[in-house]
């Protein structure tokens, strides 16, 4: 069962590579960038609202009262906003697209590691639950791969660099499963998972509203809103699986 949890988390994580192939779509560059970033922002915002935030509150409620769960999660969401701003200010690059790709890369690595832990634990519990969770994660990892690959490629015209960053973010998922296997007796507490998910919620919402959406509208405002909806529907459909 241990190996199956690792296999499923690897498949789920590397599904982000599917998003990499968006760079091969032979269309107008502005439309590709605008629609891709719109899709990624819609997916990230919806994922944060219907998955990450409820998970953060639920994990916290396992140990504390609902009121404290809400307050602490709110504080860490704000902290996530601040961390996202700090990452943005730390990355020194005049190319907005490349900078956006790197910020997405960092945030999604942080997001994928605990997902790998959760996938492993779900598979240990029941194989069916682990399988359904891995499918759900695989579906929402596709727009996450797009969020890295498209801005990096169009900023650098370097396919290998875009692929490498997407690949590294993807293997963060099985890395989470490996950590769970190695430290199985010291699995992160409910409190840790709660605060971590709240932090990632703040970071994802921040990058979506301050980076992805403005950049998407800059390249193609019409396609932005259409693909925000598509990204949201993709996450909702994947969430229904679990």
Q: Tell me if 184 is assigned to some domain.
A: yes
User: How many whole angstroms from its chain centre is CA 81?
Assistant: 15
Of 162, 233, 219, residue with least CA distance to 27: 219
State how far the Cα of 226 lies from the Cα of 128, in Å rounded to an integer.
34
Q: Tell me if 156 is assigned to some domain.
A: yes
The helix/strand/coil state of 180 is helix
Q: Tell me if 33 is assigned to some domain.
A: no
Domain count, the chain: 1
Q: How many CB atoms lie within 10 A of CB 58?
A: 14
Range of the domain at 69: 2-19+47-240
Q: Please enumerate in sequence order all residues whose Cβ is within 8 A of that of 145, keeping only pairs 6 or more positions apart, or say none.
A: 15, 16, 17, 18, 19, 20, 22, 166, 169, 170
Q: Tell me if 182 is assigned to some domain.
A: yes
Is the distance from CB of 37 to CB of 215 less than 8 angstroms?
A: yes
Is the distance from CB of 179 to CB of 116 less than 8 angstroms?
A: yes
The pLDDT of residue 58: 84
Of 193, 191, 203, residue with least CA distance to 109: 203
pTM of the model: 0.88
The pLDDT of residue 160: 96
Q: How far apart are the first and last CA of the chain?
A: 20
Q: What is the full per-residue pLDDT of the chain (242 aa) written as tens digits?
A: 567 888 999 999 999 999 999 999 877 888 899 999 999 999 999 999 998 888 888 888 776 667 777 788 889 999 999 999 888 888 877 788 999 999 999 999 999 988 888 888 888 778 887 888 888 889 889 999 999 999 999 999 999 999 999 999 999 999 988 888 887 655 556 777 788 889 999 999 999 999 999 999 999 888 889 999 999 999 998 888 76
């Amino acid at each position: 069962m241990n190996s199956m949890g690792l296999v499923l988390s690897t498949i789920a994580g590397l599904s982000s590579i599917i998003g990499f192939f968006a760079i091969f779509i032979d269309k107008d560059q502005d439309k590709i960038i605008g629609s891709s970033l719109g899709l990624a922002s819609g997916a990230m915002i919806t994922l944060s609202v219907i998955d990450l935030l409820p998970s953060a509150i639920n994990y916290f409620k396992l140990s504390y009262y609902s009121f404290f769960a809400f307050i602490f999660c709110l504080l860490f969401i704000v902290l996530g906003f601040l961390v996202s701003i700090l990452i943005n200010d730390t990355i020194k690059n005049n190319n907005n697209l490349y900078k956006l790709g790197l910020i997405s890369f960092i945030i999604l690595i942080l997001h994928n590691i605990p997902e790998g832990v959760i996938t492993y634990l779900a598979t240990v519990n029941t194989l069916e639950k682990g399988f359904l969770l891995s499918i759900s994660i695989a579906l929402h990892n596709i727009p996450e791969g797009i969020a890295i690959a498209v801005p990096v490629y169009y900023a650098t015209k370097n396919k290998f660099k875009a692929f490498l960053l997407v690949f590294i973010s993807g293997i963060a998922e099985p890395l989470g499963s490996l950590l769970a296997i190695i430290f199985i007796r010291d699995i992160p507490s409910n409190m840790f998972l709660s605060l971590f998910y709240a932090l990632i919620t703040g970071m994802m919402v921040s990058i979506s509203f301050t980076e992805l959406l403005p950049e998407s509208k800059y390249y193609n405002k019409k396609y932005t809103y259409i693909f925000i909806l598509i990204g949201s529907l993709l996450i909702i459909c994947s969430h229904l699986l679990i």
